[in-house]
């Protein structure tokens, strides 16, 4: 998260959520790679008048990757090769014996019975000179599509539904808090009156994973009516968010009362009545922790708004008075 502009009257922020974008891209690439590794392997053999067979080994990749054809002469048989990894995992593959050497028919995997069945078919064809043709296949594309889809699906969802570039603008001149979020699905914009923003809260979560303490942060604005406006939807290990939250708090709390009175008289709302003037003055004092002065002005504003039947303002002021413990 980055502060693009910071003046006494305006602060502009941008959050690219780079970890989320990297996670989405990583999941999508991993899913595509796994899907691409899936292939259909086919061994086709024919005998003519001579007992010697003519064989064709073809591989067709799921995404066209790794497709190939190979001619095999003088097929002599098949056997199962056993491999043990450094972690003790045992896998098997079918190897073909030909007049030109050994050719690997299948990839190494844990399905020993399937590979044993393939080797038995091939050896049966080699031993039976009356068998004129042979075709064996191993198709691992469905499994690779399943495993790849388990990564590709969440990655696509993360990229489409979650990943956003957030632009936040707090402007004392216009008196607005504006939050715009750009993503693949389009742009979402929300605006709130700046005088209704009480504070910028930093939510912190800490957890220990593999012996290391991970701390994540999220910023939200607390409004007069008690609601929370999220600046960040998700927690992230972005230490800059702590500094941004501190800058926002300073920006929101250092508002001279004279500035608000001048702003009230010089802004487009220059014809605001006494109730609105007292309300803004009281809110400015509230942010500066001038509890008694804020209470006096807000109570007067509440009474005036009540005579104007402005229920929304009355409820906002009443909520602040409850939070101040004045009622």
pLDDT of residue 159 exceeding 50: yes
What is the predicted pLDDT for the residue at 66?
Answer: 66
Q: Indicate the average pLDDT of the chain.
A: 84
What is the predicted pLDDT for the residue at 269?
Answer: 46
pLDDT of residue 316 exceeding 90: no
Name the least confident of 27-41, 84-98, 182-196, 277-291: 277-291
What is the predicted pLDDT for the residue at 119?
Answer: 93
Q: Which residues contact 293 (CB under 8 A, 6 or more apart)?
A: 282, 285
What is the predicted pLDDT for the residue at 290?
Answer: 78
Q: What is the dihedral of CA 247, 323, 196, 222, to 10 degrees?
A: 50
Q: What is the dihedral of CA 122, 127, 131, 134, to 10 degrees?
A: 10
Spatial distance between the Cα atoms of 52 and 69, rounded to a whole number of angstroms: 20
pLDDT of residue 191 exceeding 60: yes
Angle at 256 (CA atoms; ends 11, 7), nearest 5 degrees:
20
Spatial distance between the Cα atoms of 175 and 169, rounded to a whole number of angstroms: 10
pLDDT of residue 158 exceeding 90: no
Angle at 17 (CA atoms; ends 19, 35), nearest 5 degrees:
50
79 or 158, higher pLDDT: 79
Query: What mean pLDDT do residues 300-312 have?
Result: 85
What pLDDT digit, counting tens, does each position of 112-154 carry? 888 899 999 999 998 888 888 999 988 888 888 899 999 999 9
Q: What is the C-alpha radius of gyration for the chain, rounded to an integer number of angstroms?
A: 35
Query: What mean pLDDT do residues 214-231 have?
Result: 89
Query: What mean pLDDT do residues 278-300 have?
Result: 82
Spatial distance between the Cα atoms of 236 and 19, rounded to a whole number of angstroms: 8
What is the predicted pLDDT for the residue at 214?
Answer: 85
Asked whether the beta carbons of 43 and 105 are under 8 A apart, the reply is yes
Cα dist from 180 to 12, 154, 186, 189, 269, whole Å: 11, 25, 10, 4, 25
What is the predicted pLDDT for the residue at 29?
Answer: 93
73 CB neighbour count, 10 Å cutoff: 11
93 CB neighbour count, 10 Å cutoff: 16
Asked whether the beta carbons of 166 and 187 are under 8 A apart, the reply is no
What pLDDT digit, counting tens, does each position of 224-278 carry? 888 899 998 788 888 888 888 888 888 887 654 444 444 444 443 444 567 888 8
User: 30 burial class (0-12, 13-18, 19+ CB within 10 angstroms)?
Assistant: middle
């Amino acid at each position: 998260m980055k502060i693009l502009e910071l003046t006494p009257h305006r602060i502009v922020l941008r959050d690219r959520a780079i970890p989320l974008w990297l996670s989405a891209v990583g999941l999508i690439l991993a899913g595509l790679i796994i899907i691409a590794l899936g292939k259909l392997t086919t061994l086709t053999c024919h005998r003519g008048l001579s007992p010697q067979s003519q064989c064709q080994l073809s591989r067709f990749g799921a995404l066209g990757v790794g497709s190939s054809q190979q001619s095999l002469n003088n097929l002599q048989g098949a056997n199962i090769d056993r491999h043990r990894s450094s972690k003790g995992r045992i896998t098997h593959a079918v190897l073909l014996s030909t007049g030109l050497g050994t050719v690997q028919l299948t990839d190494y995997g844990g399905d020993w019975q399937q590979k044993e069945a393939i080797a038995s078919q091939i050896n049966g064809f080699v031993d039976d000179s009356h068998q004129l043709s042979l075709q064996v296949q191993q198709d691992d594309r469905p499994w690779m599509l399943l495993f790849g889809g388990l990564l590709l699906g969440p990655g696509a969802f993360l990229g489409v539904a979650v990943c956003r570039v957030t632009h936040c603008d707090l402007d004392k001149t216009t008196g607005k808090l504006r939050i715009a979020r750009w993503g693949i699905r389009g742009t979402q914009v929300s605006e709130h009156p700046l005088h209704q923003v009480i504070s910028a809260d930093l939510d912190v979560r800490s957890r220990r994973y593999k012996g290391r303490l991970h701390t994540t942060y999220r910023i939200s604005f607390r409004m007069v009516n008690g609601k929370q406006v999220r600046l960040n939807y998700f927690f992230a290990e972005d230490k800059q968010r702590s500094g941004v939250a501190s800058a926002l708090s300073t920006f929101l709390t250092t508002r001279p009362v004279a500035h608000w009175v001048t702003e009230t008289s010089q802004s487009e709302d220059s014809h605001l009545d006494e109730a609105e003037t007292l309300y803004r003055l009281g809110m400015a004092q509230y942010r500066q922790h001038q509890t008694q002065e804020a209470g006096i002005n807000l109570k007067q504003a509440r009474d005036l708004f009540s005579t104007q039947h402005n229920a929304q303002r009355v409820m906002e002021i009443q909520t602040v008075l409850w939070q101040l413990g004045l009622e």
